[in-house]
A and B are shown apart, each in its own frame.
Chain A
Amino acid sequence: MKVVFEEFYEKYHQDLFQFVFYMVKDKQLTEDLVQEIYIKVLKSYKTFKGESSEKTWLFSIARHVTIDYFRSQSRKRKRIMEFFDWGEKGQLIQDLKPLPDELAVQNEEIQTVYRYLDKCTVDQKSVLILRYIQSFSIQETAEILNFSESKVKTTQHRGLKVLKKHLAEDQMKGGDVDET
């Protein structure tokens, strides 16, 4: 079992960690989710048939674990919002997470893009992260997300559009976002 783990770790660990981090934007949470991903990988490694590459198999598991997490979060948030009736204000909460050290040293533009990633849907965000931050090919991304390649392209396009729209609005307001 440890051999399998070490193999995956050596080859993909930092990529995996980075992907999950950009999805959830929380290092502690990323550590927990990565552990969960490894556990799932090691449990189901026997049933891995090699129909896809190890890499896309690993990242598809990572994506499922992350989406499961988002679902549980949205259920929780829904309950809380129903309870307190926060309505629209609830949307602000997710932006208040502190920036990790790596991003805090970056310029404002990068930080702004980082923040507006959350305005995308999970699928759009996944595509943008895999394609540009992780530099995966369209084919790899399609395999991971179980999308067709054309769906990857359109999702990628729509994701960029959402980001641009918010960045443009942000410039109109004169960079309020930085103060949040």
Chain B
Amino acid sequence: MKHNDDQELIEKLKNMPKIQDTQDKDSLYQHISSGLNPKQKQPKRNNKLVPVLGTLMAAILLLIMLPSFLNTNMFETQNENSTADRAFDDANLNNKAEESLSGQEESSDMQDAESEIMMMSEPLDSYVIDGSVNNEVIAHGAIADSQQQFVIPLTFVVPESEDIDTFYSEMEHYLHVQEWGVSDYLFKNVSFKLEKENNQVVVDLPADFSVGEGSATASIFEKSLTTMFKQEGIDKAVFNTENDQGLDLGPFGLIDELPLSKEQNASYKIYHEEDAVRSFLIPIPNEGEMMIDDALMAMKTDDKDFNVSQTIPDNINMTTDSTEQELTVTFSDESSLMNNQDTLTMIEAILMTAKSYGYDSVSFQNSNLEKIGSYLLTESIPVPVGANPINSIE
């Protein structure tokens, strides 16, 4: 039976149908030949991409998830804090609250005190070099405001090592016209030689020197030289030009030398160009026979069009009396001086104005302040040697 079964089964196996491949031979070969070469390369290429894509995906996921992680962390810390708070009993909590409250008060007191100290200790800006530095060598500079209406006087303490002529010739290095909001320095590359015995200054002008057109600049040119040298006892400027053809000074014509006229009486006010880093005390010339009373009155007015503002506040009133050398300013009873920058600026502006009117000193009366800045208001104050000190040490 077994044997028959075997034979029967073998017959069945042998009768299994023939299975034919219906594929075309050529297309099969194409599949095979394409499989012979590129099949090896394709997986490799993919493998190279896997880590790159993986890193990219991880980075993207991280970016997406990071904010939510941060938020969760914040919540967690908040929760931790609240559970920690719950650990305190009520008494403790109250104590703590009181402590922190009083602590806050203390610290705010401290802050107030600190800011007061700050205000006290913060040095007030001085616009002048006071008269006590007589022994030092002083140089005067001049620049024009941005609209070339006024000359701004500058005062330098010349380092001992420096020659005065060299210092004047290289003054432009100390000027920061952009930051100050003023016009370009007129005397770039100009050399000065002071000849005090002849009361003149020799001015060497570069070949391309030009004052520019218009009477305004010519006037500024003349006033600048006056501001720089008149105080030194110089009466005229002598110009050395290429080929000795003279300087073309607009309305003055071609000139070889320029007499320096007396400085005009002026009221000193504050010049501050918008966006500039500092302000300057500038003399606003007073026309005609204006007396010192009127000059001081003029210091209460602004000229916003030219970025000029008053130096005597509206609520300060004063009367004047004078001897030949000294001006006496008496503040009215209702005038109350504050120990602040405005007051110091006012005192210095009055001193400079008095100087331009030919006084040697000023005495302030009826002041509620004894001292402002470095000035003792109880004593007679000598007029400053110059306005707008510029640091020439650096």
What is the interface of chain A, defined by CB distance below 8 A to chain B? 1-2, 5-6, 9, 13-14, 17-18, 21-22, 27, 30-31, 34-36, 38-39, 42-43, 100, 102-103, 105-106, 109-110, 113-114, 128, 132-133, 135, 160, 163-164, 167
Contact = CB atoms under 8 A, between A and B. Distances in A.
Contacts of B19: 17-18, 21-22, 27, 100, 102
A2 B29 CA distance: 8
Interface of B: 5-6, 9-10, 12-21, 23, 25, 28-29, 31-33, 35-36, 39
Contacts of A14: 18, 20-21
A132 B21 contact: no
A156 to B, nearest CB: 10
12 contacts: A2-B29, A13-B21, A14-B21, A17-B21, A18-B18, A27-B19, A31-B21, A43-B36, A102-B18, A105-B17, A110-B16, A133-B13
Given A39-B36, A103-B16, 7 more contacts: A1-B33, A9-B25, A18-B19, A31-B21, A39-B39, A106-B15, A133-B13
Nearest to A106: B17
Given A17-B19, A18-B19, A102-B18, A164 B9 contact: yes
B12 A164 contact: no
B21 A34 contact: yes
A114 B16 contact: yes
Nearest to A113: B12
Contacts of A128: 13
Given A1-B33, A42-B36, A110-B15, A160 B21 contact: no
Contacts of B16: 22, 103, 110, 113-114, 132-133
B12 A109 contact: yes
Nearest to B20: A14
A132 B23 contact: no
B66 to A, nearest CB: 33
A42 B32 contact: yes
B17 A103 contact: yes
Contacts of A36: 35
Nearest to B21: A17
Contacts of B39: 39
Nearest to A100: B19
Contacts of B18: 14, 18, 102
Contacts of A102: 17-20
Most chain B CB within a 10 A radius of its CB, from A18, A105, A135: A18
Contacts of B25: 6, 9, 13
Contact of B20 (A17, A22, A42): A17
